[in-house]
Amino acid sequence: MGKSPKQGRPKARLPNGFRDIETEEIQGLKAMLRELERVYETYGFEPLETPFLEYTDALGKFLPDQDRPNEGVFSIKDEDEQWLSLRYDLTAPLARYVAEHYEALAKPFRSYRSGWVFRNEKPGPGRFRQFMQFDADTVGTASPAADAEVCMMAADALEALGIERGKYVIKFNSRKYAEGFQERLKIPQINRLTWYRSIDKPSRLGEKGVGELLGPGRKDESGDFTPGAGLSPDQIRESLTFATAKIFEAKFVQGSAVGEAGMADLAEMRRLFDAAGYGEDRVRFDSEVVRGLDYYTGAVFEAELTFESHDETGQLVRFGSVGGGGRYDDLVARFRGEAVPATGFSMGVSRLYAALKHLGRAVNLGSLAPVVVLVMDRERVTHYQHLTSLLRAAGIRAEMYLGSGGMKAQMKYADRRGAPLVVIQGPDELERGIVQLKDLAAGAEMARQIDSREEWREAQPAQVAVPESELVAAVKAALEREAVSAGAAGGYDGG
Amino acid sequence: MGKSPKQGRPKARLPNGFRDIETEEIQGLKAMLRELERVYETYGFEPLETPFLEYTDALGKFLPDQDRPNEGVFSIKDEDEQWLSLRYDLTAPLARYVAEHYEALAKPFRSYRSGWVFRNEKPGPGRFRQFMQFDADTVGTASPAADAEVCMMAADALEALGIERGKYVIKFNSRKYAEGFQERLKIPQINRLTWYRSIDKPSRLGEKGVGELLGPGRKDESGDFTPGAGLSPDQIRESLTFATAKIFEAKFVQGSAVGEAGMADLAEMRRLFDAAGYGEDRVRFDSEVVRGLDYYTGAVFEAELTFESHDETGQLVRFGSVGGGGRYDDLVARFRGEAVPATGFSMGVSRLYAALKHLGRAVNLGSLAPVVVLVMDRERVTHYQHLTSLLRAAGIRAEMYLGSGGMKAQMKYADRRGAPLVVIQGPDELERGIVQLKDLAAGAEMARQIDSREEWREAQPAQVAVPESELVAAVKAALEREAVSAGAAGGYDGG
């Protein structure tokens, strides 16, 4: 490999829909995940990680014909001719884990996990084929208290990340409550998923648009036609009343057992929120939240950022939903044949991070750039290495310049790295037993104009000479001064 | 999905060669990675993450016939009929990144990353198909100082993790030096990889075994035959002298330009180690280190744990190599057609973690189990939720029991979770305005014998009553007492 690089050279490029992540985002994401972990642990959730590949059948991603996987997942046949798939969410692998270890687990089983998931779908702007989720799940209890808890936890998590009260809301609803309404209205089973996918859109499409989706279908601005649920005008009118009600009411589900059970769940959740001090400003019922996914069986919820603002170009920015979840009593049952009640919440890590950045609340740990020890004399590289090691031993990020460039190239390198300081010791300094510390933050502009050692000696911008024996102490002091002045200038906006 | 779980129920099982990771290991790994990151950042490396999937050709994993990927990697054809592969190491994706962004990068480019990699190979005991590596690389310099740095960094990293000086050694060598010797000995090009894969085994196979591998071939104890390099007796004798020499010497490479360059690199590295205070006890030349991989082009190194000990069953445990690396000047050239010197080091995270655990130096952050608030009266669940929220708001890990079990089941749950305390408030306590705090650590054994509320009232083992208004303060105090006594008992062995 690589022996004859001229022949059939591959092009260095990322696959479509994937991306690299660099220092600032890695640091910001890590800090954000740590904060989420802390909040989730306060709620009694413990970490659990599952592998990236699972048997396709265990993920429930075989197509109905049972001999090939769903195209939306990345799938591979292993050497035993079994299909494996990259996980497309963190819920299906958890269901596999719980089913596999069901007897041994203390129940209710409460766990959290963050991780990359993969979708083999056409990527779009801001839509990647690898993205991160952060999930928490409680398995083994049907109690509405378990649903209420994840909603409160989501609210706490957003506030812990620096999103102020009033800028977010956790919305909840119940699929049972909605199902009860469908029952009362005698909506045929076959139209119910379409009904769910219409009823969650009054804010977006208005009552007219939703009415079309519930009835004959709707043509959007681009001319695309979405088939409707085919309801009668009466059914549509009642559905719109249901979907735009600000409160849940017994009248909507009267006579439906499942609907009344859903109603009771919603009332219990509301009581729990109030008892724990989570008012309507943080957690509230919303009839539009029904979650399109087939597998939800009870309470459903969504975390929404409610603020609007403008980006640098003046464009309106609205982040909307940054997470959601609900009760999925059948996912573990797939394996076990008996119902295992479960509920969970999934945060969209990338969207949440984008929102934090926009709000100036993403943790920016600042530059990781090291102090750079210049190599002024190639013969004395061991001595520069020695100086570098002294700095590191004192816990100071430092490196000796490792390239082959001259003075100008070295200064340019230090500048591009964002080095706070460079350490300079040429023959003169050596003779006098000193080192020069140059503050790049202060002298960056001038540095770019310096071409030679001679010019340097004359200008010496933003630099101090210290005895070599005081190198470590002097560098420490200089870095502290810089940190203070960066702080004073508001350079740190950690959440 | 999941609607008719009885039909064709999938079996809940992990794919062969994959595993789940639970709380203690997740916490320990995280702490270990954080420490590695800190050390690497002290050396001026910054984090960079690449995606899990890359074009197979970019990873260099197409088979020579160029129309299908190497079987050792997990590969998938995407919707554009292009082959993607799961990364099998972290070096090939880095080479792609560097080649893609070459002009824009400050060079030398120093970055680190940890991440899961995947091998589509037969798994074995302790050998998984998904495992984690932690890499640091310097791209864009041919200086031996860059090689020396990663060796020193590996030494620092192991010590920072709690592996004492004397229990590890970083060994280094140079492929150029070895190649010079091969040249001097006139070993044909075609036999050189076999030569490398023989010459690294005197410690394992003895001189006789290596002599067989260098000559006609070797049959091992199981009867398997490994073809040899076919050298003459003279060549074998000289190779053995070379391979068992404790020092590098000019005489072995005399007259070979590449060998003399390698010799100079080794000498320069040794000078740098000495200048920085890394003596032979930490970093030393070892002629057996040649690294079997085809892509190394200069310095090569290996981090080895040198201690031996015994596990619980009396079996001898030797961890051996926990990482390694070297100079790979051709990997980026695959894309760019011009040589880009690079050097890197990769830690085997799982093996290193196993060694830390064995040494009692894995960070054990202790239990994450929450205080459990029991539900003594279902009608008052909102009040228990309120108490739970008070604890959480004070930063105490807490949960209300969410299952449907009675007193005994709740105590059993708290016990299995490892809860440090349970909070109990039945009708009597409510009337008196108090809560009972029960210390599970102290009362675990007795708890298992309690069947009813009545028995409980009589026994009340390891528990105290406090006014409800003092709940938070009392729980805090009790947890602090427990932490102190756990500390005194040596329960914490953090590295």
Span B240-278, pLDDT tens digits: 999 989 899 999 999 999 999 999 999 999 999 999 999
Q: Is omega for the bond preceding A461 within 30 degrees of 0, making it cis?
A: no
pLDDT band at A113 (very low <50, low <70, confident <90, very high): very high
Chain B closest-CA separation from residue A331 CA (Å): 6
Instruction: Give the 3-state DSSP-derived string for chain B, with helices as H, strands as E and coil as C.
Output: CCCCCCCCCCCCCCCCCCCCECHHHHHHHHHHHHHHHHHHHHCCCEECECCCEEECCCCCCECCCCCCECCCCCEEECCCCCEEEECCCCHHHHHHHHHHCHHHCCCCEEEEEEEEEECCCCCECCECCEEEEEEEEEECCCCHHHHHHHHHHHHHHHHHCCCCCCCEEEEEEEHHHHHHHHHHHCCCHHHHHHHHHHHCCHHHHHHHHHHHHHCCEEECCCCCEEECCCCCHHHHHHHHHHHHCCCCCHHHCCCCHHHHHHHHHHHHHHHHHHHHCCCCCCEEECCCCCCCCCCCCCEEEEEEEEEEEECCCCCEEEEEEEEEEEECCCCCHHHHCCCCCEEEEEEEHHHHHHHHHHCCCCCCCCCCCCEEECCCCHHHHHHHHHHHHHHHHCCCCEEECCCCCCHHHHHHHHHHHCCCEEEECCHHHHHHCEEEEEEHHHHHHHHCCCCCHHHHHHHCCCEEEEEHHHHHHHHHHHHHHHHHHHHHCCCCCCC
pLDDT of A37 > 90? The answer is: yes
A402–B100: do the CB atoms touch at under 8 Å? no
Residue B87's pLDDT is: 97
A398 beta partners: A371
Average pLDDT over residues A315-319: 85
Coil, strand or helix at A364: coil
Range of weakest confidence among A267-281, A282-296, B204-218: A282-296
Search chain A and give the residue with CA nearest B373. A44
Residue A257's pLDDT is: 97
pLDDT of B480 > 80? The answer is: yes
Residues 416 through 435 of chain A touching chain B, CB cutoff 8 Å: 416-417
Chain B closest-CA separation from residue A277 CA (Å): 8
Residue B5's pLDDT is: 38
Range of weakest confidence among A265-274, A383-392, B120-129, B276-285: B120-129
pLDDT band at A124 (very low <50, low <70, confident <90, very high): confident
Nearest CB to B335 within list A10, A18, A404: A10
Residue B492's pLDDT is: 29
Average pLDDT value for chain B: 89
Say yes or no: B494 contacts chain A, CB-CB below 8 A.
no
Compute how many other C-beta atoms are within 10 angstroms of the C-beta atom of residue A323: 24
Residue A446's pLDDT is: 58
CA B90 to chain CA centroid, Å, is 13
How far apart (Å, rounded) are the C-alpha atoms in residues A345 and A52?
A: 20
Domain B371-488 fold:
Rossmann fold (3.40.50)
A10–B399: do the CB atoms touch at under 8 Å? no
pTM of the model: 0.90
Residue B74's pLDDT is: 93
> Cβ contacts (< 8 Å) between B383 and chain A: which residues?
275
Nearest CB to A399 within list B43, B58, B392: B43
Q: One-letter amino acid identity for B393? A: A
Residue A1's pLDDT is: 39
Residue A63's pLDDT is: 66
Average pLDDT over residues B356-364: 88
* For chain B, percent of residues with pLDDT exceeding 70: 91
Span B121-132, pLDDT tens digits: 888 887 899 999
> Cβ contacts (< 8 Å) between B265 and chain A: which residues?
none
pLDDT band at A341 (very low <50, low <70, confident <90, very high): very high
B12–A142: do the CB atoms touch at under 8 Å? no
Say yes or no: B145 contacts chain A, CB-CB below 8 A.
yes
Say yes or no: A130 contacts chain B, CB-CB below 8 A.
yes
Whether B147 and B264 have beta carbons less than 8 Å apart is answered as no
> Cβ contacts (< 8 Å) between B148 and chain A: which residues?
385
pLDDT band at B186 (very low <50, low <70, confident <90, very high): very high
Span B307-354, pLDDT tens digits: 888 877 888 888 889 999 999 988 899 899 888 999 999 999 999 999
Which of A43, A268, A265, A152 lies closest to B382 in space, CA to CA? A268
> Cβ contacts (< 8 Å) between B142 and chain A: which residues?
404
Say yes or no: A58 contacts chain B, CB-CB below 8 A.
yes
Average pLDDT over residues A218-223: 89
Handedness of CA A260, A264, A267, A273 (dihedral sign): negative
pLDDT of A67 > 80? The answer is: no
pLDDT of B448 > 60? The answer is: no
Residue A450's pLDDT is: 62
DSSP letters for A297-319: -SEEEEEEEEEEEE-TTS-EEEE
Residue A95's pLDDT is: 95
pLDDT of A448 > 60? The answer is: no
CA A400 to chain CA centroid, Å, is 36
> Cβ contacts (< 8 Å) between B152 and chain A: which residues?
389
Range of weakest confidence among A90-104, A329-343, A445-459: A445-459
Backbone angles phi, psi at B392, to 5 degrees: -60, -40
pLDDT of B1 > 50? The answer is: no
Residue A455's pLDDT is: 65
Say yes or no: B274 contacts chain A, CB-CB below 8 A.
yes
Whether A327 and A148 have beta carbons less than 8 Å apart is answered as no
B-interface mutation test, from A7, A19, A33, A42, most B Cβ less than 10 A away:
A42
> Cβ contacts (< 8 Å) between A57 and chain B: which residues?
10
Average pLDDT value for chain A: 89
Whether A397 and A371 have beta carbons less than 8 Å apart is answered as yes
> Cβ contacts (< 8 Å) between A383 and chain B: which residues?
275
pLDDT of A490 > 60? The answer is: no
Bridge pairing between strands B83-86 and B53-55: antiparallel
Residue B454's pLDDT is: 65
Distances (CA, A) of A355 to A20, A153, A315, A350: 19, 19, 15, 9
A13–B58: do the CB atoms touch at under 8 Å? yes
Lookup: tokens for A422: 């460079």
Lookup: tokens for A366: 């600042």
pLDDT of A168 > 50? The answer is: yes
Span B10-33, pLDDT tens digits: 999 999 999 999 999 999 999 999
How far apart (Å, rounded) are the C-alpha atoms in residues B299 and B445?
A: 59
Range of weakest confidence among A27-41, A374-388, A475-489, B338-352: A475-489
Distances (CA, A) of B187 to B180, B215, B294: 10, 12, 17
Say yes or no: B186 contacts chain A, CB-CB below 8 A.
no
Say yes or no: A392 contacts chain B, CB-CB below 8 A.
yes
> Cβ contacts (< 8 Å) between A97 and chain B: which residues?
12, 20
CA B253 to chain CA centroid, Å, is 37
Higher pLDDT, A261 or B440: A261
B396–A274: do the CB atoms touch at under 8 Å? no
Chain B closest-CA separation from residue A30 CA (Å): 11
Residue B388's pLDDT is: 96
Cα angle A483, A387, B267; round to 5: 140
pLDDT of A66 > 70? The answer is: no
Q: Tell me, what DSSP letter sits at residue A473?
A: H
Nearest CB to B9 within list A6, A138, A337: A337
A435 beta partners: A466
Domain A23-52+87-187+231-359 fold:
BirA Bifunctional Protein; domain 2 (3.30.930)
Say yes or no: A370 contacts chain B, CB-CB below 8 A.
yes
This complex has an ipTM of 0.89
Lookup result for tokens 């190779």: B239
Say yes or no: B272 contacts chain A, CB-CB below 8 A.
yes
B397–A295: do the CB atoms touch at under 8 Å? no
Say yes or no: B382 contacts chain A, CB-CB below 8 A.
yes
Residue A79's pLDDT is: 76
Which of B263, B389, B177, B140 lies closest to A148 in space, CA to CA? B389
Residue B211's pLDDT is: 93
Domain boundaries, chain B: 23-52+87-178+243-358, 371-488
Residue A494's pLDDT is: 36
- The CATH number of the domain covering residues in B23-52+87-178+243-358: 3.30.930.10
Q: Which of A62-76, A269-283, B305-319, B457-471 has the highest mean pLDDT?
A: A269-283
Nearest CB to A20 within list B50, B130, B145: B50
Lookup: tokens for B473: 């303060």
B141–A403: do the CB atoms touch at under 8 Å? yes
Query: How many helices and strands (H and E) does chain A possess?
Result: 17, 18
